Amino acid sequence: MNELRKDFLWGNSTSSMQTEGAYNEGGKGKSVYDIRKATDDASDWKVAIDEYHRYPEDIKLMKDMGMNCYRFQISWSRVNPEGDGDFNEEGIKFYNDLIDELLANDIQPMICLYHFDMPLHLAEKYNGFVSQHVVDAFIRYGKEMLKRFGNKVKYWITFNEQNLYSVPEAFKISGYKGDNSIRDLYQIQQHVFLCHAAIANEVHENYPNTQIGGMLAYQEVYPATALPTDVAATRKFLEFADNNLIRLFTEGKYSDEVVHYMKLNQLDDILDPKEMEIISHTKSDFISFSYYSTSTIDSTLIPINTCPNFYSIEGHKPNPYLLTNEWDWQIDPLGFRTVLTTISNETHLPLFPIENGIGVSEKWDGQNPINDDYRIKYHRDHIQAMKDAVSIDGVNVMGYLGWGLIDIPSSQGNMEKRYGMVYVNRGNHDLRDMKRVPKKSFNWFKEVIKSNGNIL
């Protein structure tokens, strides 16, 4: 018997800056990524995999594989060059054409509104999401995108990996340039959730056939040992990094423990009553998340008086029981099942893992498909773990999207860290011909999709 639902969504997930290129075409304004320069082991962001010009070719590959869902990101600065000024009709037409091409190939589009690429103007002038001006600009942008695409696109998320705005990564991804204070971290967290709430409420008030979900990078961590302080530190970090956001996504309320911490540290004035009224109406139709690996926390490494949001950095310790890839990401399929079941028990909502994959250095000989059995094993083990969560634990899973299943530069711009089942023939500093070449995993995943997960 097949454990997965008949309308299961199989597909690919990407961001705009890692795919589109065309950084100065079609009326696009600059984002914070567009001014980043290449380094010895990373590309710049000007071309990516040239999806702006090649999307029909890549959609055909998705169709050939059997995918029925593609989660992509709208580049805020492509449709609204300054972030807070006039909208760019040429940029909007690009996404309209992309959506129509997906629908014509029976692939459901899923839109993400923000994946770390703040319009440069908003970052430089207003300091990103720490600013109320940027909050207002994002809400205006999100509502305009709903107006343009809300009746065509069924599935939406606002922020990629939204809980990263609750940990130090927030300072890198929110358009912020400041002193990295705890107050600014909590202000960014509040503002980003306010933006999500405003757009989610707009969907539920005006787009009855559209679904919107929360999205987080589930920070699954284990105690490094059975030492009670390791267990306690791990529990506390999970409350601040995961559970707080899940409660906001589902109940429109902060965790009691987080609110108490804010009061003790004179941060509770951030919880503006008018903003909390908007947040209180938040609902989610599903919870989506990324999952790649797990980590551990050693409490003895955490300095006294460290903010709980920093525990996973200060207390990080490799897990000796897990294999790692060359970037020290630890491979843990059982952790994937644990995350699915944990979130399901907490929320009672459909779950949608929309990023999963493994980055590996790969070289193409120019002729033969890459034999990526390691990637097949990674996805096979994780899909089996997902099926166990469904059949044994009773989790309601909507679909499974691999990350960057057509090679894209990594989040740090490294084209040689490849997640794809299709090789893209370019390097960090040599664009070559960017030919798309299916790997061995392409045909394997094609059979998985065709069998709706029965054949692994």
Active-site entry in 51, 161, 202, 275: 161
Q: Is 314 exposed, middle or buried (0-12, 13-18, 19+ CB in 10 A)?
A: middle
The alpha carbon of residue 349 and the mean position of all alpha carbons in its chain are separated, in whole angstroms, by 19
Distances (CA, A) of 430 to 123, 299, 364: 30, 45, 14
Residue type, 99: I
Structure tokens at 438: 């299916």
Active-site entry in 20, 51, 101, 355: 355
Contact 127, 177 (CB under 8 A): yes
Residue 3 annotated among the catalytic residues of the structure: no
Residue 355 annotated among the catalytic residues of the structure: yes
Radius of gyration of the chain (CA): 21
Measure the CA–CA gap between 318 and 303, rounded to whole angstroms: 18
Structure tokens at 249: 């996504």
Measure the CA–CA gap between 93 and 109, rounded to whole angstroms: 15
Measure the CA–CA gap between 318 and 308, rounded to whole angstroms: 19
Closest listed residue to residue 222, CA positions, set 298, 135, 120, 119: 298
Measure the CA–CA gap between 41 and 306, rounded to whole angstroms: 33
Measure the CA–CA gap between 49 and 61, rounded to whole angstroms: 14
Closest listed residue to residue 313, CA positions, set 243, 245, 233: 233
Residues sharing a CB contact under 8 Å with residue 416, sequence separation 6 or more, in sequence order? 41, 361, 362, 427, 428
Q: Enumerate the active-site residues.
A: 161, 355
